Amino acid sequence: MTADESELRELRASVREFLEAKSPEEAVRKLMESEPRFDPAVWSQAADQLRLPGLAIPEEYGGDGFGLVELGVVLEEMGRALFCAPFFATVLLAAQALLASGDQEACARHLPGIAAGRTTATLAVAEDHGSWDPAMVSARAVPDGDGGWTLRGSKCFVVDGTTADLILVVARTVAGPTLFAVERGTTGLAAEPMETLDATRAMARVTFDAVPATLVGAQGAGGRIMAKVLDIASVGLAAEQAGGARRCLEASAEYARVRHQFGRPIGSFQAVKHKCADMLVQVELAEAASREAALLADEGSDEFPVAAAVAHACCSKAYMVAAMENIQVHGGIGFTWEHPAHLYFRRAKSSQLLFGGPAVYHERLLDRLGI
């Protein structure tokens, strides 16, 4: 199912109106210092009123069957508002991993709850080294003798890892990296919050001490699953970054019009004009790259993996440029804790590093190009 331009505009307007009401700066700052780092009531409203968790989940599993284009619109608005919620981890990481696994039983068991907003989920891949490459995984899973599996090891940088009802874990078996499902509250499972640069995206360290787990998909298929998930999640992250970058540009332009110095708006000075112009170029490029990648994904194009890597690289750079220049345009006030400019800078930096940083995603682009 694909929405036309008017429907996309309506979706954007609805999501923006909802987030302006539910995720103003005061709410973001409050949630940054709370545990859980999201408001369950607002999450329920996003599911019940707007059906956001199920937007891109197939209709056979209780979703609306839309694609990455529609999801991109939602993520742009969430990035713009710094929305604190388990949306990215649940919908872009966990749900996409389930779908990529091809395991219909696992999908039928978990996706309806995710689509309805009753189940939050995440994907645990990276360990102490921070790499999302399945080949680097050292956590291990062994058969328990009763048809199940037992997990041992630890994971770091697990998005929303302390609150997720379902954790999908990439662990090593004799067949190679493999995907497993672990329910929250399972014996031997422990999760603790990690203190990171960006407090608006909750991260956790999760340890597995002989934890019972369920195989998802085929043994040794973890590498194939993660390749698909990273492509889709990179485009989702790119949309979020583009939305945040656009907000930084808007904030800079607004301030440049109202802040006066030497008897005139600072926006009339050439140096400030250049900064805003440079930001505009980066933001337009980021939006074009992320939206084109989403469109190619929904069309099932062979060019999608390359476009996903390009979007990830473009949007990571654009958001960093916009966030830094936003601080510069605001001058002294932009450096203060009370001003939101630093919140966007922290999100920009953490997003840039989420899947391994510039060196890793440029290497991924070369790999997708076959170089």
Is the dihedral angle over the CA atoms 237, 323, 321, 358 positive or is it negative?
A: negative
d(CA 98, CA 214): 12
pLDDT over 70, % of the chain = 100
* Residue 91 per-residue DSSP state: I
Express each pLDDT in 137-147 by its tens digit.
999 999 987 88
Check whether 1 has a pLDDT greater than 70.
no
Q: Which of 38-42, 50-54, 359-363 has the lowest mean pLDDT?
A: 359-363
Which residue in the block uniquely carries the two structure tokens 């940083």?
357
228 Cβ contact partners less than 8 Å away, ≥ 6 residues apart: 96, 100
φ, ψ for residue 184, nearest 5 deg: -65, 140
Express each pLDDT in 141-176 by its tens digit.
999 878 889 999 999 999 999 999 999 999 999 999
Residues of the chain with CATH 2.40.110.10: 121-220
Check whether 27 has a pLDDT greater than 80.
yes
CATH superfamily of 5-116: Acyl-CoA dehydrogenase/oxidase, N-terminal domain (1.10.540.10)
Is the dihedral angle over the CA atoms 334, 16, 322, 31 positive or is it negative?
A: positive
Whether residue 252 contacts residue 330, with contact meaning beta carbons closer than 8 Å, is answered with yes
Whether residue 188 contacts residue 245, with contact meaning beta carbons closer than 8 Å, is answered with no
Please report how the helices 68-81 and 270-299 are oriented relative to each other, as an axis angle in degrees rounded to 10: 150
Express each pLDDT in 182-210 by its tens digit.
999 999 999 999 999 999 999 999 999 99
311, two tokens: 């979007």
Check whether 71 has a pLDDT greater than 90.
yes
Express each pLDDT in 264-279 by its tens digit.
887 778 888 899 999 9
Whether residue 142 contacts residue 130, with contact meaning beta carbons closer than 8 Å, is answered with no
CATH class of the domain comprising 121-220:
mainly beta
Residues of the chain with CATH 1.20.140.10: 224-368
Confidence band of 357 (pLDDT split at 50, 70, 90): confident
Express each pLDDT in 323-348 by its tens digit.
999 999 988 788 788 889 999 999 99
Q: Does domain 224-368 have CATH number 1.20.140.10?
A: yes
φ, ψ for residue 141, nearest 5 deg: -130, 135
Residues of the chain with CATH 1.10.540.10: 5-116
Dihedral of CA atoms 247, 122, 203, 327 in degrees, nearest 10, equals: -10
What average pLDDT does the segment 282-295 reach?
Answer: 97
d(CA 313, CA 321): 13
**Pairing assessment for the beta strands 121-124 and 166-173 based on DSSP bridges:** parallel
